[in-house]
C-alpha cells in the first residue's frame, strides 16, 4: 500500500482539509446517529455528505507511493495491467523458505517498500507470483497525518512484518470506509470498505508459524496485501464512484456514496453500494 511522502509537493501527507459542502448544511456532532457513530471530529469535518475531506485521509494514509528516490538494483514495482497482479499467487514451498532465492525476494520486497515508501507490499508487486507480504507502519509515516484522522482510523506504528502463505480471517462484523491507494495503481485513490478486526496466520521468514491479530489500519493493510495474493486490487473492491486522481482528493464525494469512517452498525445502503461495486 502506498503512503504519501512528505517531500512530495503533489502528495503531501497533509490532513485532508475538509471543505464544508456549501450545498448542504454542516451537521453538528450531536446530529450524528448513534447507531452509526462517525468520528468525533467537530465542526466542518462533519458534513452531511462526508465526514472527512477525502484527500486528508488518502494523503495521510498508508498508501503513499510517491517515492522519487531511486536505488540501483531496486526491484521495479509492477503496475496494474500486468497479469501477475490479476492472477492468484502460489504458496511458497515450505522446503524452500530458507533458500537464498526466497530470502532475496523478501529482502527485495522490504527495500521496495521502504523506497516507495509504502506500508505494505505483496510479492506479485515486484513480479513474483508467490504468497509473501511485507508490512510496516512507522511513527514517522503516521506523523504526517493529522492526529484526529489517525485516531479515527485506529492507526498505530508496528514493526516490520513478513508473512508467507498468509491466511486471513475476519474476527468481527465491524467495517469502515477509508480511501486506499496502491503502489501498483499510483496516483489514484478510492473508498474501500474493509473489516476492522482480522487474524492472519502464516509463516515468518524462517518458516516458523505466526499469528497476527490486527484491528483498524493494520487490519486494512493486511486485507489489502492478502488481496494482492488472490490477484485482487483495491479497484476490484472500491466504491466505483469514489475513484479519483490524488489531486482531486479534496473534492466532495458524489451524492449517495458512503461516508468515510467506521460503520458501527451496517446502515441501509452499504449493501447496495457493495453490490454496485461488484
| Selected binder of Zn ion within 182, 192, 212, 262 (CB under 5 A) | 182
Nearer CB in complex with Zn ion: 92/182: 182
d(CA 32, CA 17): 20
Nearer CB in complex with Zn ion: 182/262: 182
Where on the phi/psi map is residue 216: left (φ > 0), alpha (ψ -120 to 50), or beta? left
Cβ 207 to Zn ion shortest distance, Å? 25
Nearer CB in complex with Zn ion: 32/185: 185
CB-nearest residue to Zn ion: 182
Nearer CB in complex with Zn ion: 120/216: 120
Cis peptide before 117 (omega within 30 of 0): yes
Nearer CB in complex with Zn ion: 97/182: 182
- Choose the binding region for Zn ion from 19-27, 83-91, 144-152, 178-186 (rule: CB under 5 A): 178-186
Nearer CB in complex with Zn ion: 162/182: 182
- Choose the binding region for Zn ion from 23-31, 108-116, 139-147, 176-184 (rule: CB under 5 A): 176-184
Cβ 185 to Zn ion shortest distance, Å? 7
In eight-state DSSP terms, residue 56 is H
**132 lies in the site for Zn ion, by CB under 5 A:** no
Cβ 182 to Zn ion shortest distance, Å? 3
Instruction: State which of positions 97-116 bind Zn ion (CB under 5 A).
Output: none
Q: How far is CA 62 from CA 35, 123, 167, in A?
A: 28, 18, 22
d(CA 57, CA 135): 19
Which residue in the list 2, 136, 193, 225 is annotated as catalytic?
225
Q: How many Cβ atoms are within 10 Å of 237's Cβ, its own excluded?
A: 19
Burial letters for 124-151: b for 16+ Cβ neighbours within 10 Å, e otherwise? bbbebebbbbbbbbeeebbebbbebbbe
- Choose the binding region for Zn ion from 5-13, 39-47, 74-82, 182-190 (rule: CB under 5 A): 182-190
Asked about 225 being catalytic, the answer comes back as yes
Radius of gyration of the chain (CA): 18
In 88-148, the DSSP E strands lie at 120-122, 132-137
Q: How many residues bind Zn ion (CB under 5 A)?
A: 1
d(CA 63, CA 43): 27
Cβ 100 to Zn ion shortest distance, Å? 27
d(CA 108, CA 102): 10
- Choose the binding region for Zn ion from 79-87, 175-183, 205-213, 242-250 (rule: CB under 5 A): 175-183
Cβ 33 to Zn ion shortest distance, Å? 33
Cβ 161 to Zn ion shortest distance, Å? 15
d(CA 70, CA 64): 16
Which residue ranges make up the site for Zn ion (CB under 5 A)? Answer: 182
Residues with a known catalytic role = 225
Amino acid at each position: 500500500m502506498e503512503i504519501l511522502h512528505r517531500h512530495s509537493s503533489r502528495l503531501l501527507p497533509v490532513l485532508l482539509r475538509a471543505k464544508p459542502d456549501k450545498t448542504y448544511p454542516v451537521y453538528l456532532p450531536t446530529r450524528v446517529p448513534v447507531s452509526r457513530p462517525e468520528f468525533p471530529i467537530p465542526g466542518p469535518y462533519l458534513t452531511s455528505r462526508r465526514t472527512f475531506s477525502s484527500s486528508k485521509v488518502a494523503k495521510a494514509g498508508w498508501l503513499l507511493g510517491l517515492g522519487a528516490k531511486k536505488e540501483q538494483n531496486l526491484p521495479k514495482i509492477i503496475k496494474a495491467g500486468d497479469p501477475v497482479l490479476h492472477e492468484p499467487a502460489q504458496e511458497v514451498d515450505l522446503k524452500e523458505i530458507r533458500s537464498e532465492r526466497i530470502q532475496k525476494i523478501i529482502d527485495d520486497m522490504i527495500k521496495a517498500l521502504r523506497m516507495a515508501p509504502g506500508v505494505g507490499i505483496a510479492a506479485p508487486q515486484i513480479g513474483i507470483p508467490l504468497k509473501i507480504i511485507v508490512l510496516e507502519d512507522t511513527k514517522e509515516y503516521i506523523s504526517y497525518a493529522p492526529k484526529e484522522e489517525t485516531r479515527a482510523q485506529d492507526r498505530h506504528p508496528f514493526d516490520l512484518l513478513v508473512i508467507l502463505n498468509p491466511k486471513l480471517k475476519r474476527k468481527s462484523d465491524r467495517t469502515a470506509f477509508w480511501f486506499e491507494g496502491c503502489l501498483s495503481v499510483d496516483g489514484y485513490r478510492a473508498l474501500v470498505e474493509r473489516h476492522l478486526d482480522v487474524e492472519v496466520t502464516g509463516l515468518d521468514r524462517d518458516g516458523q508459524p505466526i499469528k497476527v491479530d490486527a484491528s483498524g489500519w493494520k487490519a486494512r493493510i493486511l486485507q489489502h496485501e492478502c488481496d494482492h495474493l488472490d490477484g485482487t486490487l483495491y479497484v476490484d473492491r472500491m466504491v466505483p464512484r469514489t475513484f479519483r486522481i490524488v489531486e482531486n482528493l479534496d473534492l466532495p464525494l458524489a451524492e449517495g456514496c458512503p461516508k468515510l469512517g467506521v460503520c458501527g452498525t451496517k446502515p441501509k445502503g452499504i449493501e447496495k453500494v457493495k453490490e454496485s461495486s461488484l
